[in-house]
Amino acid sequence: MTSTNQPPRKSGSIEHYDVVIIGAGVSGMYALHHFREMGLSVRVYDGASDIGGTWWYNRYPGARVDGPGSPFYCYTFSEKLMQEWDWAETQSEQSAVLAYLEHVADRFDLRRDIQFETWVEDARYDEAAQRWTVETSTGVSASAPFLICAVGALSTTNMPDIPGINDFAGECYHTGRWPHEPVSFEGKRVAVIGTGSSGIQSIPEIAREAAHVTVLQRTAQYSVPAGNRPITPEEMAEAREDFDAICAKMHANPGGFPFDNHTRMALDHTPEERNAHYEKLWQRGGFKFFLDGYNDIAVSEEANASLADFIRDKIREIVHDPETAEKLMPDYFVMTKRPILDDGYFETFNRDNVTLVDLREDPIERFTPTSVVTRSGEHPIDMLVLATGFDAISGSMLRLNPKGRGGMSLEERWQDRFHNYLGLTIAGFPNLFMIHGPGSPGVFYNMPLGAERQLNWIGDFMGHLEKHGMGAVEPTTDSEEAWGNEVSGIANATLFPRTDSWWTGANIPGKPRYFSAYLGGSLYYQRIADVAAKDYEGFAFEQAHRADDA
Ligand code: NA7
């Protein structure tokens, strides 16, 4: 392998590295740092003009961390970094997360190895050279034995295909591609399609400023108060006090946060006890509403109904107009779509400048240059906000569509299912590694920590390959099949696969429909460690054809 801090070697117009990384978001940034620390030469490409990935793009009004949140939605690879960064709020705003990532990029001098505003348009494996070659939108080509796809689980936007939408002449923004210039809603009639996290975070903000907001809802959602509040200096001090103990607790927790595990089951409690518990959690708010609830919510229909009823009652209490409240009643198993945190979402429907359209009864028929037309009539609008989400988890890998052995495209390989082993590797695509891809815990785990843990494992694997003179590695199709069965087995023991969601691919027409994330939480990291301990069981190895300085 070549050594770091050297100018890239070129042959023809191709630059040569040890590792090419696609994506400069949370995962790609750590990948760069980690492989550089290993002494490898690394190049990162990203289509955006700066670091941050999802946090660079999703700057819509109200965008915040809506998971368990700060101060533990962060990297853990550097104790100093954890010690020196102050988080202001429990649910950090997008700008605060981006400021943190910018600090990381500065502190570890990441940008010097990242080429921005550069899309990787083609990635192809050369079997003879045992290297990947990438072609980019700027004309630069690069080759490396290892390709790391840190392309994001939530980055390929889902643009709805609705008749006339391209004829709409007003302003139109997707929440996942929000402009960097300020967007004014003042005096405007705004329609928002989508009531997932992005819609539910942005609608109250838009309604405060706009003349009128029409919310176009396909699925009514469970959402609970975000309970955002300042982080006290004492809490920050506590989080820093014993770095090793905090990290150990994060590693042991199923979701990667330093929280205590509990064994409460809803069905062991009376309805009164359950409601008292839910009420306490509701008053506190935050993602812990779900984590500190009961462990059988996601597996027992009866337990699930107890929580669903509690939230539905809350919606009826908050929303004054009973007809609107009924349209807002969710009817799926709670928690089987991404749980949502809000700041005054249901209250927003008490404003007289907000109208709710239930698309199940009153579907969109078309757009005109100045309006959206639903079955019941025309809604004149000046602006359209598409909070319609993403082709999640597998979408960005398919958009990249790498070509593996024999020129086979990932699109062909993944026609019926997102075949993979350990959520990291794909048969026929040697030396390619996915971060947060299908088959991994991905969005079900603290994502910065998950990226670190996957990338540390990959780094060790690369060291193993070099030590043993191996030039290429890929999983066997048998190990892919066994892994797929394991992932599905865990999911099928829960209620998750029974609901249409972006977790099951149901939001994208034509996408294979099954629950593709590994739901075993931190058990996953034990599984991949066990595979490593057994000399990378399940992989097929190929001797290096020749020295790496090809
Ligand atoms: P989501 O959670 O996928 O939400 C998208 C929303 O858009 C959801 O309500 C969809 O309804 C709706 N949608 C999508 N396509 C259409 C069409 N064609 N017509 C009407 N409504 C549509 O994306 P978010 O950006 O909110 O959140 C993604 C993640 O980002 C989130 O979980 C956080 O982790 C951060 P549906 O429910 O599919 O019926």
- Best residue for ligand 1 mutational test, from 338, 359, 372 (most atoms within 8 Å of Cβ): 338
Given the CA of residue 389, which atom of ligand 1 is nearest to it?
23
Residue 288 and residue 339 in contact, taking contact as beta carbons nearer than 8 Å: no
How far is ligand 1, taken at its centre, from the CA of residue 196, in Å?
Answer: 4
In a domain, 239, yes or no: no
- Best residue for ligand 1 mutational test, from 56, 154, 198, 202 (most atoms within 8 Å of Cβ): 198
Task: Give the domain-ending residue among 356, 388, 420.
Answer: 388
Q: Residue ranges of the chain with pLDDT lower than 50?
A: 1-5, 548-550
For Cα atoms 431, 436, 441, give the angle at the middle one, nearest 5 degrees. 120
Residue 135 and residue 421 in contact, taking contact as beta carbons nearer than 8 Å: no
Q: Which two tokens stand for residue 466?
A: 């070099």
The CATH number assigned to the domain holding 431 equals: 3.50.50.60
How far is ligand 1, taken at its centre, from the CA of residue 446, in Å?
Answer: 21
Whole-structure pTM value? 0.96
> Per this entry, what is the length of the chain?
550
Say if residue 365 is in the same domain as residue 281: no
In a domain, 254, yes or no: no
Which residue's CA is minimally distant from atom 17 of ligand 1?
Answer: 160
Q: Judging by beta carbons within 10 Å of its beta carbon (0-12, 13-18, 19+), is residue 10 exposed, middle or buried?
A: exposed
**What is the C-alpha to C-alpha distance for residues 186 and 55, in angstroms, rounded to an integer?**
25
Q: How many domains are there within the chain? A: 3
**What is the C-alpha to C-alpha distance for residues 481 and 259, in angstroms, rounded to an integer?**
34
Residue 436 and residue 443 in contact, taking contact as beta carbons nearer than 8 Å: yes
**What is the C-alpha to C-alpha distance for residues 170 and 158, in angstroms, rounded to an integer?**
20
Which residue's CA is minimally distant from atom 37 of ligand 1?
Answer: 219
How far is ligand 1, taken at its centre, from the CA of residue 276, in Å?
Answer: 31
Give the pLDDT score at 4. Answer: 43
Say if residue 129 is in the same domain as residue 204: no
Alpha helices in 261-378 (DSSP H): 271-284, 288-291, 301-318, 322-327, 345-348
Give the pLDDT score at 69. Answer: 83
Residues with C-beta less than 6 Å from any ligand 1 atom:
66, 154, 158, 160, 175, 193-199, 218-219, 338, 359, 387-390, 502, 507
In a domain, 71, yes or no: no
In a domain, 39, yes or no: yes
How far is ligand 1, taken at its centre, from the CA of residue 323, in Å?
Answer: 23
- Best residue for ligand 1 mutational test, from 342, 507, 513 (most atoms within 8 Å of Cβ): 507
Task: Give the domain-ending residue among 336, 358, 377.
Answer: 336
Q: What is the pLDDT of residues 397-443, one digit of tens each?
A: 999 999 999 999 999 999 999 999 999 999 999 999 999 999 999 99
Say if residue 396 is in the same domain as residue 444: yes
In a domain, 314, yes or no: yes
Give the pLDDT score at 70. Answer: 87
